[in-house]
Copies of this chain bind each other. A is one copy, B any other.
Amino acid sequence: MSKKFSISDIAKELNCELKGNNNIEISGVGSLDEAKEGFISFLGNKKYEHLVEESIASAFIVPADYTKEPAEGKAFLLSDNVDLSFSMMIMMFAPPAIEYPSEIHSSAVVAETATIGKNVHIGPCAIIDEGVKIGNNSVITAGTYIGVNTVIGEDCLIYQNVTIRERCVVGNRCIIHSGTVIGADGYGFVPGPQGIIKIPQVGNVEIHDDVEIGSNVCVDRARFGKTIIKTGVKIDNLVQVAHNVEIGEFSLLIGQSGVAGSAKIGRGCIIAGRAGVNGHIKVGDGTKVAGTSNLVKGCPPNSIMVGTPAEPQREFMTRLTLPKKVKKMQQQIKDLQKQLNDLSN
């Protein structure tokens, strides 16, 4: 990070009002507690306001309605969307992005029947199997496998050592991180006459546009039909999406969460970290399942579900405060007994 920008240039670039010292040179970005002198930081949440005063950073991106004044010699940039402004800020200081030349590496193995779009990068030891279609401007990096007849849209970025099995569909502008497996067989078995018999998993996975999937995620192919990840869904690392699941538009599945077979998750839901959703249930739009909780029944839109088995937040709080209530009741019972004893004597 040896780049430097004047605070007034930054204000222009970010389209933010500048308050305070307009003569600072900014040499880096950092969080409130880690930024150094000459750095710019940001106030994302007003509960950290006191950290602005303690920080040695020289400038701060603050909410547009923030009324305090910057300290002597420091500057505030007033922003309508602090997170977004700070992201732009970070990009100004970021090292150059990795470039993926439009070429098929000589060590890649691309089937003759594959259709490769314009301006596509296929990295070293990547394997593109028979009948695959890859859209324009997409990047398939080193060691990644794309299975028979799978279709990858335009402007996708598939990182290293990803596996996408046969007959899956990935939309446009999708990002899939390393180690992730799309389209492996769903987990389905039936007791048979001589042990356990595998239920064939002959469906596929369909991923719509603008989806991002983290590292070492598993999205299983449907038993029949499709496992569907709709537009704008963002999946964190180590998440399990079982066969025939549907994830609604713009829903978020946070790290290590899991969704069991045939569950339908609505639009704009948040399944927080390490939470689970049982199979064959319907989760209403906008529902939030708290971290580590396990949703065992379907729920209406905009539910907030907590605990295992998950219950509405209010019921969960009742449960959480039981020890206090029980302690109080123990005392009350003692008192009652005493009063009774007094009365009997």
Contacts and interface: CB of A to CB of B under 8 A. Distances in A.
Interface residues of A, number: 110
Given A142-B145, A319-B323, A333-B329, A181 B179 contact: yes
A90 B319 contact: no
A53 B136 CA distance: 47
Given A125-B109, A179-B216, A234-B189, A255 B256 contact: no
Nearest to A231: B195
A225 B30 contact: yes
Contacts of A262: 31
Interface in A249-301: 250, 252, 254-256, 258, 260, 262, 273-274, 276, 278, 291-292, 294, 296
Interface in A190-226: 190, 192, 195-200, 202, 210, 212, 214-218, 220, 223-225
Lowest 5 CB-CB distances: which A-B pairs, in order?
A94-B202, A163-B178, A218-B237, A181-B215, A109-B124
A223 B91 CA distance: 10
Contact of A238 (B87, B238, B322): B238
A339 interface: yes
Contact of A166 (B98, B177, B224): B98
Given A184-B177, A215-B184, A260-B273, A224 B30 contact: yes
Given A220-B237, A308-B308, 17 more contacts: A31-B244, A90-B202, A98-B148, A125-B125, A143-B145, A160-B163, A163-B179, A218-B255, A238-B238, A242-B255, A273-B276, A307-B308, A315-B323, A326-B329, A332-B337, A333-B333, A343-B343
